[in-house]
Amino acid sequence: MLIESFAAGPWQTNCYVVAPSAHSECIIIDPGMGAASGVREAVERHNLKPIAVMVTHGHIDHMWSVFPVASGYGIPALIHSADRPWLADPTPGLSAQTREALPTMLGTDEFFQDPDEVTELSDNMTLSIAGFDITVRHAPGHTAGSALFDFAGELPTVFTGDVVFAGAIGRTDLPSGSSAQMNASLRDVVLSLNDDKRIYPGHGPSSTMALERTTNQYLLRIAQGLSAT
């Protein structure tokens, strides 16, 4: 399994290019601000063929480059239905500070728009893409449409977006966030993952479910029947 990652934009959002191997089809996960050039470099270096863009949730730092990447390669974008409206208009999901700064951050030729093809995801949907079997696990709390992408195979892998990080969890104080939903998602979705799963989050380093289950203070609180925060 080939996983190329790089941190994009001022939020240092992890963008992933995922393929079974070099010279094969690939998936692009969470192309954030300025990610198109990094995606292109990874695709060309490994001689890959992009066939889909997958978005863990609709926050602007994760979907800034969805339109140029999907349109540039002529491929669909996949996102949970609850966050789909933010592809064309991310402002309802922004903090007041980011909403105020957005006009100065946009380049003269940058804009937000739905790609020609958008597939709306739902809980427990199973996908067969680029040689992978992927299960969508809806995990609201950070946003209403946050989802984990659970890859089966010899190297069990899950892309967690901003639901859970190495040693931390996502914030719940932005629009459509909910601490109660986050608690439920951590309990019912994250803690249900097998210990052999390697976690690739939206920010920061990767981890394993075994390590997070025993060291992540937020997951430890959930396991004890408490609120994560």
| Banded model confidence at residue 45, pLDDT cuts 50, 70, 90 | very high
Q: Is residue 114 part of a domain?
A: yes
In a domain? residue 68: yes
For the chain, give the percent of residues with pLDDT over 70: 100
CB 76 within 8 A of CB 117: yes
229 belongs to a structural domain? no
pLDDT of res. 194: 94
Domain that holds residue 214: 2-223
pLDDT at 102: 85
Residue 14 resides in a domain: yes
Task: State the total domains in the chain.
Answer: 1
> Model confidence over 142-155: pLDDT tens digits?
999 999 999 997 78
Q: Domain holding 21: CATH number?
A: 3.60.15.10
pTM flag (> 0.85): yes
**For range 1-30, the mean pLDDT:** 96
In a domain, 228, yes or no: no
* Lowest-confidence segment of 26-30, 82-86, 111-115, 193-197 by average pLDDT: 111-115
pLDDT tens for 84-134 read 999 999 988 888 888 888 888 887 677 888 999 999 999 999 999 999 999
SS (H, E, C) the chain: CEEEEEEECCCCEEEEEEECCCCCEEEEECCCCCHHHHHHHHHHHHCCEEEEEECCCCCHHHHCCHHHHHHHHCCCEEEECCCHHHHCCCHHHCCHHHHHHHHHHCCCCCCCCCCCCEEEECCCCEEEECCEEEEEEECCCCCCCCEEEEECCCCCEEEEECCEECCEECCCCCCCCCHHHHHHHHHHHHCCCCCCCEEEECCCCCEEHHHHHHHCHHHHHHHCCCCCC
